């Protein structure tokens, strides 16, 4: 059982990782756990693991069971060490937006990488500059808003669906 299920986790630019529980704010984890690490994004997956995306230090995950924090740095496999967005899709996969492309990471039971796939323009991604506030998962599809349009990925597929406009307005007439 996840001992931290009722906690709300937060990260700050300078003071690390902390949580809110039962209307109380608890201090940050000691600096020894994440020394000099700027956490940019947090995501909890379906198994209760907390994933941390950092600025130029890759991605970490914390095992939240038995009151132990075990760090695993996964940065060597990713397309970039600068993680801007993490989304757990509920199927033992994580979608990561890095500064260079979109990565899909498949995970085993112990949350180790079993497969890693990079997505960029040649795989159908409209733009590599994804807006993290315009990305969501609905009905098994990952919707990604970007500066020049949007892309849709079937969560279990390896290809993107380009969502280009189907109607072109050439003229607007006001009555």
C-alpha pair distances (Å), 112 with each of 58, 74, 107: 15, 9, 5
pLDDT in the model for residue 65? 63
Task: Compute the distance between CA of residue 74 and CA of residue 71 in angstroms, rounded to an integer.
Answer: 10
Q: Is the Cβ–Cβ distance between 56 and 82 less than 8 Å?
A: yes
pLDDT in the model for residue 5? 66
pLDDT in the model for residue 161? 46
Task: Compute the distance between CA of residue 168 and CA of residue 7 in angstroms, rounded to an integer.
Answer: 48
How many other CB atoms sit within 10 Å of the CB of residue 124? 16
pLDDT in the model for residue 115? 86
Virtual torsion, Cα 29, 71, 61, 82, nearest 10 deg: 90
Task: Compute the distance between CA of residue 174 and CA of residue 22 in angstroms, rounded to an integer.
Answer: 56
C-alpha pair distances (Å), 151 with each of 7, 9, 100, 143, 168: 33, 29, 16, 6, 18
154 contacts: CB under 8 Å, gap ≥ 6: 140, 141, 142, 161
9 contacts: CB under 8 Å, gap ≥ 6: 17, 18, 19, 42, 44, 50
Q: Is the Cβ–Cβ distance between 104 and 41 less than 8 Å?
A: no
pLDDT in the model for residue 75? 59
Q: What is the mean pLDDT of each run of 10 residues along the chain (175 residues)?
A: 70 76 75 73 86 85 64 70 87 86 87 84 73 79 80 65 53 72
pLDDT in the model for residue 2? 57
Q: Is the Cβ–Cβ distance between 42 and 34 less than 8 Å?
A: no
């Amino acid at each position: 059982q996840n001992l931290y299920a009722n906690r709300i986790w937060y990260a700050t630019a300078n003071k690390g990782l902390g949580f809110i529980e039962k209307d109380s704010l608890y201090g940050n984890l000691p600096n020894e756990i994440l020394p000099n690490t700027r956490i940019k994004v947090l995501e909890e997956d379906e198994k209760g693991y907390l994933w941390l995306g950092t600025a130029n230090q890759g991605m970490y995950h914390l095992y939240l069971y038995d009151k132990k924090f075990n760090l695993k740095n996964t940065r060597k496999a990713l397309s970039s060490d600068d993680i801007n967005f993490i989304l757990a899709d509920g199927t033992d996969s994580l979608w990561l937006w890095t500064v260079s492309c979109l990565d899909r990471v498949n995970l085993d039971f112990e949350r180790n990488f079993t497969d890693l796939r990079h997505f960029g323009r040649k795989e159908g991604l409209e733009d590599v500059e994804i807006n993290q506030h315009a990305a969501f998962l609905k009905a098994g599809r990952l919707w990604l808003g970007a500066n020049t349009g949007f892309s849709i990925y079937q969560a279990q597929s390896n290809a993107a669906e380009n969502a280009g406009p189907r109607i072109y307005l050439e003229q607007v007439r006001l009555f």
